[in-house]
């Protein structure tokens, strides 16, 4: 449980599906929930994708992880994202195997994640915005409810956070030896900051496409030659009649009694114990860090102390604490809040800071407090003794949770009763008896939206998994539940040429114009190089010539797009050089460099640290990637990792997902 993280302040309710997705996505990547396999040495059996030192990674775990990955990136991938599920399934399997191997290695070399580290990660790490919006804990009841909606328990979730910390520690240990030379930094600086100016000739695919007028015979031939693309391209469709049972109407009528609140409070009393806390503000003046030799610059420390003492004098003379904090404090997180750190409990800060914060009376300002960070000036804004929160204090947290639980229970029972009635009397009769409208749909595919339901993946799974002539079934929706009856099924079909003539013509023009664009751009480049004149070649072939501004390697140029693609060749060319053909999406481009501008040395000093950090991060990722690859290879060779190739083939085969 995380009652140790509770803080005073307004509790903000977080019931957003996006936040639950964040938790789920983090969980499937960081946590392998498989239990210890019964057979530590045998090959993985049916339903098991792999064994990692005896730990089972199941088919369902891989599928769930792949679904979460797809859901995370679905908006970026577009409406056809589901066709990439086999790809995500392979990634999910590899990721789960790798992470389990890393966990075992971390434990093998003696790494541990302490309870305090788990606490800090929850409050200050990647989950802080979910469970501590604005720095305030959402409350134990809401915390449990959020995890429950993600099908998690606090113990399992916090265990997964500990495993994530373990892997991060291992990664830090492995990548600690990475370094970057000054020569590499300067080379990368030149690469990132060299500018080029050039002429470029542009041929547009749309212009070529406009000149194409295929005959019916050409289109039919194209259709016949692309039969594989059109085979069963019209997806299966189904027709249903259905009734929607909206939990919103039930929730409006649900009341939570005082006795129910009291009972829940009594069962979870320990969660509402509040430790001693202090609400503090501070001004920090940092001291220099130790150098490579372990020594600290004494002059720098003395200068920091002088500045802190000057601020303390100003406060004693009547200056406003908040104004000085905003202007001078070197703790950026609290400085913008006038120095406020909010409520803190013991064990949350360094010992020197904690001792001062919990010994000062309310409203008083400390003298200089030196810690490993520097010199602090601390003000205690409020204080709270350890106590048990009363029912009245937590009622606002408990009531929505209990109301939601009761609503779900009532809705489930009503939907089950309605479904049974529909099976015995028919859906129309059940709807009439309960006053619930029964709607008959048109034919729809799995990717369509059913009127009145919106996105409803569980409902769609049920509809497209139901056999023909099956009795009415119940399925969950975003609003509550729906009971449906399958009326008819249209299997996947291949459209005739006449049905998709317009689509075929568009595809013909796109494919043909793309080929012609490639040929014409190659001809443009060849002529320009032969004649040593890009403008002349462009005029002969009807291309438009433009001149760029000076552009950096990460720049954009009209009609050419990003310079990080094929156009990056410009940065390896000399003035007067003419490029080969460049494919820029729907444009074909040829470049002739006019001028190359090297970066100025004074800029190097300003960007040196940033470039070093970027290169170092890349080296660390490369180093850790090699470690993971070698670790997995060794574990596979030694038999500590056993892959069930049959299950892997089945999982990564298109259409293997149940209901897809």
- Average the pLDDT over 557-565 and give the result: 93
pLDDT at 650 > cutoff 90: no
Nearest to 79 by CA among 371, 350, 446, 331: 446
How is residue 553 annotated by DSSP?
Answer: T
Return the bridge partners of 483, or none.
243, 474
CATH class of segment(s) 276-385:
alpha beta
Burial of 524-552, coded b for 16+ CB within 10 Å and e otherwise, reads bbebbbeeeebeebbeebebebbebeebe
The tens digit of pLDDT for each residue in 595-631 reads 999 998 888 888 888 899 999 999 999 999 999 999 9
- Residue 357 CA to residue 381 CA, distance in Å, equals 10
- Residue 653 CA to residue 650 CA, distance in Å, equals 5
Contact indicator for 69, 600 with CB cutoff of 8 Å: no
- Work out the mean pLDDT of the chain and round it to a whole number: 85
How is residue 5 annotated by DSSP?
Answer: G
**Residue 111 DSSP SS3:** coil
The tens digit of pLDDT for each residue in 65-110 reads 888 887 776 555 555 555 677 778 888 889 999 999 999 999 999 9
* CATH tag, 237-247+403-490: 3.10.50
- Average the pLDDT over 485-499 and give the result: 94
Integer-rounded Cα radius of gyration of the chain:
33
Percentage of the chain beyond pLDDT 70 is: 90
Angle at 333 between CA 125 and CA 114, to 5 degrees: 30
* Range from 145-154, 224-233, 306-315, 452-461 carrying the lowest mean pLDDT: 145-154
How is residue 11 annotated by DSSP?
Answer: P
Contact indicator for 644, 93 with CB cutoff of 8 Å: no
Q: What ranges in 386-495 are assigned the alpha helix state H?
A: 391-425, 427-434, 457-465
Domain span(s) for CATH 1.10.4030 in the chain: 3-179+617-651
Contact indicator for 13, 82 with CB cutoff of 8 Å: no
Longest dimension (CA), the chain: 94
pLDDT at 433 > cutoff 80: yes
Burial of 608-622, coded b for 16+ CB within 10 Å and e otherwise, reads eeebbeebbeebbee
- Residue 648 CA to residue 654 CA, distance in Å, equals 12
pLDDT at 16 > cutoff 50: no
- Residue 204 CA to residue 382 CA, distance in Å, equals 68
- Residue 68 CA to residue 29 CA, distance in Å, equals 9
Residue carrying structure tokens 């008959």: 440
- Average the pLDDT over 37-49 and give the result: 62
More confident position, 461 or 15: 461
CATH 1.10.287 fits 3-179+617-651, yes or no: no
- Residue 619 CA to residue 175 CA, distance in Å, equals 8
Domain span(s) for CATH 3.10.50.40 in the chain: 276-385
- Where does the pLDDT of residue 4 fall: very low under 50, low under 70, confident under 90, or very high at 90 and above? very low
More confident position, 542 or 602: 542
C-alpha to C-alpha distances, 97 to 623, 639, 642, nearest whole angstrom: 19, 13, 10
pLDDT at 147 > cutoff 50: yes
Angle at 562 between CA 87 and CA 206, to 5 degrees: 85
- Where does the pLDDT of residue 329 fall: very low under 50, low under 70, confident under 90, or very high at 90 and above? very high
**Residue 355 DSSP SS3:** helix
pLDDT at 310 > cutoff 70: yes
Q: What is the pLDDT of residue 1?
A: 40
């Amino acid at each position: 449980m995380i009652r140790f993280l509770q803080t005073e302040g307004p509790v903000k309710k977080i019931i957003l599906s996006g936040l639950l997705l964040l938790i789920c996505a983090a969980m499937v990547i960081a946590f392998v929930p498989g239990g210890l396999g019964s057979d530590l040495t045998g090959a993985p059996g049916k339903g098991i994708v792999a064994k990692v030192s005896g730990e089972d990674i199941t088919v369902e775990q891989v599928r769930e992880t792949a679904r979460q990955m797809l859901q995370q990136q679905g908006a970026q991938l577009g409406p056809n994202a589901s066709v990439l599920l086999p790809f995500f399934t392979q990634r999910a399997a590899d990721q789960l195997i790798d992470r389990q191997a890393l966990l075992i290695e971390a434990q093998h070399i003696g790494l541990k994640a302490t309870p305090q580290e788990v606490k800090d990660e929850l409050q200050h790490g990647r989950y802080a915005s979910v469970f501590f919006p604005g720095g305030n804990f959402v409350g134990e009841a809401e915390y449990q409810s959020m995890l429950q909606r993600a099908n998690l328990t606090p113990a399992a979730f916090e265990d997964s956070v500990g495993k994530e910390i373990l892997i991060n520690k291992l990664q830090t240990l492995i990548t600690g030896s990475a370094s970057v030379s000054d020569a590499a930094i300067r080379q990368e600086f030149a690469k990132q900051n060299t500018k080029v100016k050039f002429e470029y000739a542009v041929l547009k695919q749309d212009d070529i496409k406009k000149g194409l007028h295929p005959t019916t015979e050409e289109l039919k031939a194209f259709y016949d030659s692309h039969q594989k693309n059109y085979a069963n391209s019209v997806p299966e469709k189904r027709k249903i009649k259905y009734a929607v049972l909206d939990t919103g109407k039930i929730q409006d009528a649900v009341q939570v009694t005082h006795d129910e609140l009291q009972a829940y409070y009594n069962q979870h009393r320990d969660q509402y114990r509040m430790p001693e806390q202090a609400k503090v503000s501070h001004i920090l003046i940092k001291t220099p860090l130790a150098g490579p030799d372990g020594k600290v610059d004494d002059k720098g420390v003395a200068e920091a102390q002088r500045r802190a003492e000057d601020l303390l004098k100003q406060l004693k003379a009547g200056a406003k604490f908040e104004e000085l904090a905003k202007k001078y404090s070197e703790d950026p997180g609290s400085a913008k809040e006038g120095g406020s750190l909010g409520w803190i409990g013991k064990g949350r800060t360094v010992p020197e800071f904690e001792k001062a914060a919990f010994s000062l009376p309310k409203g008083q300002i400390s003298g200089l407090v030196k810690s490993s960070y520097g010199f602090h000036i601390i003000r205690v804004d409020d204080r709270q003794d350890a106590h048990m929160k009363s029912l009245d204090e937590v009622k606002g947290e408990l009531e929505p949770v209990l109301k939601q639980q009761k609503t779900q229970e009532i809705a489930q029972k009503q939907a089950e009763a309605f479904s049974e009635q529909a099976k015995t009397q028919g859906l129309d009769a059940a709807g009439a008896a309960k006053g619930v409208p029964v709607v008959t749909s048109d034919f729809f595919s799995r990717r369509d939206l059913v009127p009145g339901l919106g996105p409803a993946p569980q409902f769609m799974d049920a509809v497209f998994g139901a056999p023909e002539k099956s009795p009415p079934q119940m399925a969950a929706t975003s609003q509550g539940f729906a009971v449906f009856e399958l009326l008819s099924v249209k299997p996947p079909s291949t459209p005739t040429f006449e049905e998709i003539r317009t689509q075929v013509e568009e595809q013909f023009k796109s494919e043909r114009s793309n080929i012609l664009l490639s040929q014409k751009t190659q001809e443009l480049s060849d002529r320009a190089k032969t004649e040593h004149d890009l403008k002349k070649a462009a005029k002969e072939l009807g291309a438009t010539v433009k001149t760029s501004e000076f552009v950096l390697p990460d720049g954009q140029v009209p009609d050419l797009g990003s310079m990080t693609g094929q156009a990056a060749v410009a940065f390896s060319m000399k003035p007067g050089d003419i490029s080969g053909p460049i494919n820029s999406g729907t444009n074909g481009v040829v470049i002739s460099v006019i001028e190359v501008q090297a970066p100025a040395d004074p800029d190097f000093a300003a960007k040196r640290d940033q470039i070093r950090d970027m290169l170092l991060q890349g080296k660390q990722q490369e180093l850790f990637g090699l470690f993971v690859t070698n670790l997995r290879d060794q574990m596979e060779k030694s038999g500590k990792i056993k892959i069930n190739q049959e299950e892997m083939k089945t999982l990564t085969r298109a259409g293997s997902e149940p209901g897809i």
